[in-house]
Structure 1
Amino acid sequence: MATAFKVQLKHLVQSMLDEGILDSQFIQLQALQDASNPNFVAEVITLFCNEAQRIINDLEIYIGQQDVDFSKMDANVHQLKGSSSSIGARRVTLACADLREASDERNKDSAWNFYDIDHDLTACFWVNIYSLGVKFASSPYVLLCKLDSICRQVLIRINQEYATLKVKFQNLLQLENTISAIENNHHQFLDGRYSTMTNMHQL
């Protein structure tokens, strides 16, 4: 009976790979799970989800402030990107990379100095964020506003990608738990039969 659920699990993981939600790193994690550590994947997923949710909550707080501390935000994005990459969460990792790039542009000393020194609203400042397909020329003040907006948009994307991943992971864990329960019951049944037969032979 567990075989049918194992097939469902395999198809679910493959669909996540096909959709680009996961990459091959997750397959490598699955390969580390064995009889000596049957809950390895579930434990890794649970730790990742708890950490990811905490970081995303912190990022939303940071970016909601009037004066955003982009250096602090970047440190959190870097942490989320690393943990996402480690578990094979490809789309979350890519979104984090985009937010880091936008945040780096926002944090450039040249932009800040240009704006702080003369507030020249007629000056032209070029920004080219390759991975986001964004390229524009603007005054320093408008530039900073646009970069703030881009950072917020990418954070929304991170939230959406994580929400999608979390639902998929919940389905995956449900299948893992079902398979584990069936196999444990089967082993208990076999152990019970063996014990009964042993007792009968001793009579």
Structure 2
Amino acid sequence: MAGVAQLQRQLVDYTASLFHEGFLDDQFNQLQQLQDESNPDFVVEVVSLFFEDSERLLNELAKSLEQQTIDFKRIDAHVHQLKGSSSSIGAQRVQRVCIAFRNFCDEKNVEGCQKCLQQVKHEYSLVKSKLETLFKLEQQILAAGGSIPFPM
């Protein structure tokens, strides 16, 4: 059981670091609290949908910014959607870059939008990697017969 306790401590410390470094905010805790025995994979499922949706939106944004005539309203709508979905899972750093991105859309600033797209892609890939690591740790704990310590 010492192995399970060590993994649980690792999970608690890792999760705390994600909050401390600003990757996640309290919305992620609220998401975790919606998970229970009747739906044990709730958080993983919601976050997986976020990953799929985000990748689609990032591809759309990249395509839209390469057009001869840039449709800033369309770009803003995609960024708004990405901001909302990142907010709903607590991906705070992605959400913050989206706010700046929307400001550049308002100004019709192509360079600013392109720079923000790169920042959003970077923050998204970081949070995706961090959450995948978090879920792997949870799986290791469950596979070892332990339980996931949830924040209160």
Same fold at TM > 0.5? yes
Alignment of structure 1 residues 3-82 onto 2, 5 Å: 3-82=5-84
Answer 1 or 2: higher relative contact order, Cα 8 Å, separation at least 6: 2
Identify the residue that residue 145 of structure 2 maps to in structure 1. Answer: 183
Identify the residue that residue 152 of structure 1 maps to in structure 2. Answer: 114
CA deviation digits over 1:139-189, x for unaligned, max 9?
Answer: xxxxxxxx21111101110011001111101101111222222228xxxxx
Partners in 1 of 2:34 and 2:5 — Cα distance? 20
Q: Which amino acid aligns with 2:118?
A: I
TM-superposed CA distance for 1:33, in Å, is 1.8
Q: Which amino acid aligns with 2:61?
A: L
Structure 2 residue corresponding to 1:173, chosen from 135, 143, 149 = 135
TM-superposed CA distance for 1:4, in Å, is 2.1
Q: Which amino acid aligns with 1:157?
A: Q
Partners in 2 of 1:101 and 1:13 — Cα distance? 31
Structure that is richer in strand per residue: 1
Structure 1 residue corresponding to 2:107, chosen from 95, 105, 113 = 105
Partners in 2 of 1:12 and 1:37 — Cα distance? 23
TM-superposed CA distance for 1:38, in Å, is 1.4
* Aligned residue pair count: 144
SS at match of 2:68: coil
Q: Which amino acid aligns with 2:105?
A: S
- 5+ residue gaps, structure 2, are 147-152
Partners in 2 of 1:38 and 1:75 — Cα distance? 33
Alpha carbon RMSD of aligned pairs, Å?
1.3
Structure 1 length-normalised TM? 0.68
Partners in 2 of 1:5 and 1:53 — Cα distance? 31
Structure 2 length-normalised TM? 0.89
